[in-house]
Amino acid sequence: MRTDRDFVRTGASTAIGDAGMAATSHPAATLAAVEILRAGGNAVDGAIAAVAMQCVVDPLMTGIGGDCFALYAPKGGMPIALNGSGRTARAAEIAWFRDQGIDVIHDRSVHAVTVPGAVDAWCRLSEDYGSLPLAKVLAPASRAAEEGYRVTPRVAHDWAANAERLSHDAGAMKAFLIDGRAPRAGEKMAHPALGATLRQIGAAGRAGFYEGAAAAEITSLLGDRGGLLDRDDFAAHSSTYVTPISAAYRGYRLHECPPNGQGVTALIMLRILEGFDLSESAIDAATRIHLHAEAARIAYGLRDTLVGDPEVAPLDVEALLSEASIAPLRASIRLDRAGPLAAPRDETAHKDTVYLTVVDRDRNAISLINSIFWAFGSGHYAPESGVVLQNRGASFRIDEDHPNAIGPRKRPMHTIIPAMLTKDDRLVMSFGVMGGQYQAAGHAHFVSEVVDRDKALQAASDAPRSFSFDGTLTLENTIDEATADTLAAMGHEVVRSGDPIGGCQAIALDHETGALFGASDHRKDGIALGF
């Protein structure tokens, strides 16, 4: 694993560890994970501690009112997957929405709220693979919520940019604004109601959330606002262990959670890109970005057409990833010209999620992602339990013929995806890329930076990003004008991003030396820390 960097230029070194490592997008979350590891906890314990902390200190990006997916690799071996996404109400018949004159589920609608799946996923992971009591694991987050925490710069930036999303809920405005404005970097915030709920979960497990006061408050609030979720929908929820899907890439194998997540999109992209030489010396920056954009255009078009809840709309992933399927897609790409958008897309480019990864002394590794979808989710807030409710249901279509059509107790198509990279049936890297719709493209880009361009882990995370979505090619400002002009001449509709694109965390395992290498994206506030 490369660790070299230009120490004169602005940047960070790849983190190195031996007994354990955590990489998150917030320093308090990384510290919580490391403290749990040093107290005798394993990777699962550390990850739960970290994600719970992020639910407190980065409340617009994630929360216990959201969903969770995880890949877990015991002792650095092959991963298993956990689907912790929530479902619609059992009463969510598509005919009911049509009768109400609803033809699209808006991101602030009460109908965008699905059962929060994250807490059940944490509890399942803790029970099956954790080593410490859940109450001890959640204690750092509970304390931070009750005693307060200081807002970090990137969190403050995002909070200010999205404060308006709280405007239709008086309780949310009171909980997350100071005199009607977002908190500034360095100011102190506290969420005591959330702290109490975390303590209840620590004491009673999943029942403390899905069958207790929190569920009662949330369903009552949603019902008063016209929602369909009830206590039975909450009590019936459970996470599901599923078999990861994977694809080979230049001697490695990328593992993703299967649908209803969009991990298959990243696999399609890499299968397409494997037919091109993407090494540093082979092509210029414009061609490399163009090829990634074309692979994304094709893969996202397939995602939007095919991916939904596999219990209702099964997808033959193996056939989709076969050479017979991929070869004509690859052959359709011109090196000198952007191709047409396959079909109009009605998915909005949101970017609110947290991803983290933890590896322990026994080389158990977890790749975990937690999200409330949009900034502050739906904006609906349960004040007594301190829960911001996600709006994942906004992904559903009011279209009976679409695989992602809304229906009773269905899981929506999900953008959040953890990932792992193996070689010779051993884990070599646990990683993920935040950024909503960007995540699948981000996985392909990050893997290519590491494998094709042989970059050090932190350098691969820091590399300039682009994203082709909905007919436009967005470039970060670190991509030079000559490259942008070349891409425009190829037919891409080039736009510059005012904000950074996504965020990445990664931990690589060197099985020969036993060392751990970590990276945390400079675009966020976080840190990778090993010991």
Query: What is the bridge-based pairing of β-strands 516-520 and 503-509?
Result: antiparallel
Sheet containing 67-73: give its strands across: 240-242, 80-84, 67-73, 365-371, 354-359, 21-24, 527-530
Q: What does the alpha-carbon distance between residue 246 and residue 253 come to, in Å, rounded to a whole number?
A: 6
- Of 182, 177, 54, give the one whose Cα is nearest residue 122: 54
Other residues' Cβ atoms within 10 Å of the Cβ of residue 287? 18
Q: What does the alpha-carbon distance between residue 159 and residue 58 come to, in Å, rounded to a whole number?
A: 9
Q: Is 265 a catalytic residue?
A: no
| SS3 (DSSP) at 290 | helix
- Of 318, 323, 301, give the one whose Cα is nearest residue 440: 301
Catalytic residue among 88, 114, 152, 353: 353
How deeply is 419 buried, as exposed, middle or buried, from its count of CB atoms within 10 A (0-12, 13-18, 19+)?
buried
Measured in whole angstroms, the distance separating CA 107 from the mean position of its chain's CA atoms is 18
Q: What does the alpha-carbon distance between residue 525 and residue 69 come to, in Å, rounded to a whole number?
A: 22
CB 290 within 8 A of CB 475: no
| SS3 (DSSP) at 318 | helix
Give the chain's length: 531
Other residues' Cβ atoms within 10 Å of the Cβ of residue 273? 26
Other residues' Cβ atoms within 10 Å of the Cβ of residue 188? 11
CB 19 within 8 A of CB 41: no
- Of 459, 370, 446, give the one whose Cα is nearest residue 7: 459
Alpha carbon distances (Å) from 28 to 33, 58, 137, 277 = 9, 10, 14, 40
How deeply is 377 buried, as exposed, middle or buried, from its count of CB atoms within 10 A (0-12, 13-18, 19+)?
buried
Question: 405 CB contacts (<8 Å, ≥6 apart)?
Answer: 94, 308, 396, 397, 398, 399
Give buried/exposed letters for 479-503 (b at 16+ CB in 10 A, else e): beeebbebbeebebebeeeeebbbb
Cα R_g (the chain), whole angstroms = 22
Catalytically annotated residues:
353
